[in-house]
Amino acid sequence: MIHAPKQPAWEPPIVVEVFADSNHEASFVPKSRIRLGSSFRQLAATIPADRLRDLLILITFTTANGRLSPSAPDIAGALGLAVWQARLRLYRLSLTMWQGQPLVRGLKHPGGLTTFSPSPQVLEMRQELPPAAALPSDAPTRFEQVVQASREQYSRPREEVEREITARQGWPSAEEMEAARLSRETEPTELNAVWAANRLSKAGVDYGLALKLIRQFGAEACIQQVAWIEYRSVKNKARYLVAAIQKSYAKPPDAPIGSDTSDPDPSLAP
């Protein structure tokens, strides 16, 4: 009797395993390894090749304790890219859907820095704790017992505390971030539109707003105003650019005739 081969259990495409470093027997020193889950082949066959490349680059920033949340400057510095180029790659990943979820999600921190992490549908972290014999077996001190008792009596669930901190700081909740993502336009595919979005994003215009301006006023008008901004004396380029595109500001007197932009970079084509 011939038995059909047993299918592996479903796993996310990427699995990060955190385990104890065997070279440190006296204490728990974490190490992490990355392996491909059973659904990686399905992911690779579904998303574009450049998105798969950028996703694999992203996961190489996993730390020893399994943390994975790099920023655009982190990736730009490691790959020798301009920050705006790294940011464009990350935003493309955040707009690429797989099984109803974006490949990565962005989290804006209070200082203005945005970091990016794979969605739970894409990456799962698993902890492999060492056996009890490998951990320090000393009984807890009196101080440690008091701290533990205090935590058990007064501490609140982590989710509740995080929601309260988010509300107090005015940060967007996970639901608000998801709504903002859904409200964004589909990323452009025409080369001039991609180029216009890149130039506006580099000038400081929010990527979602840049896509909206391109849709309403056209890529050429946006690129022209980006070229003319270098001949205007303004403090806030991003805010001025938005107004210039919306109100069709005339060419600055100092700008030479035909000062539009250079040709788009073919490597930025989707």
- What span, in angstroms and rounded, lies between the C-alpha atoms of 158 and 187? 35
Strands 123-128 and 114-118, by their bridges, are unpaired
3-state secondary structure of 15: strand
103 within 8 A of 55, measured Cβ to Cβ:
yes
For 31-69, write each residue's pLDDT tens digit: 888 999 889 999 999 999 999 999 999 999 998 888 888
- What span, in angstroms and rounded, lies between the C-alpha atoms of 109 and 72? 13
- What span, in angstroms and rounded, lies between the C-alpha atoms of 34 and 59? 8
Give the amino acid at 27: S
- Structure tokens, 218: 């056209």
Q: How far is CA 193 from CA 89, 199, 264, 269, in A?
A: 16, 10, 10, 10
Domains and CATH numbers, the chain: 14-129 (1.10.10.10), 185-268 (no CATH)
Per-residue pLDDT of the chain (270 residues; tens, 9 = 90+): 555 556 667 888 999 888 877 665 556 677 888 999 889 999 999 999 999 999 999 999 998 888 888 999 999 988 898 999 999 999 999 999 988 889 999 888 887 888 999 988 899 888 775 544 444 445 565 556 666 666 666 566 666 666 666 666 656 556 556 555 554 546 677 888 888 888 898 888 888 888 889 989 999 999 999 999 888 888 888 889 999 999 999 998 888 765 454 444 444 444
21 within 8 A of 30, measured Cβ to Cβ:
yes
3-state secondary structure of 268: helix
238 Cβ partners below 8 Å, 6+ apart? 203, 204, 205, 206
- Structure tokens, 49: 């090749």
> Does pTM surpass 0.85?
no
Give the HSE-up count for residue 151: Cα atoms under 13 Å, Cβ half-sphere.
8
240 within 8 A of 232, measured Cβ to Cβ:
yes
- What span, in angstroms and rounded, lies between the C-alpha atoms of 268 and 270? 6
Q: Which long-range contacts (CB under 8 A, 24 or more apart) does 143-151 make?
A: none
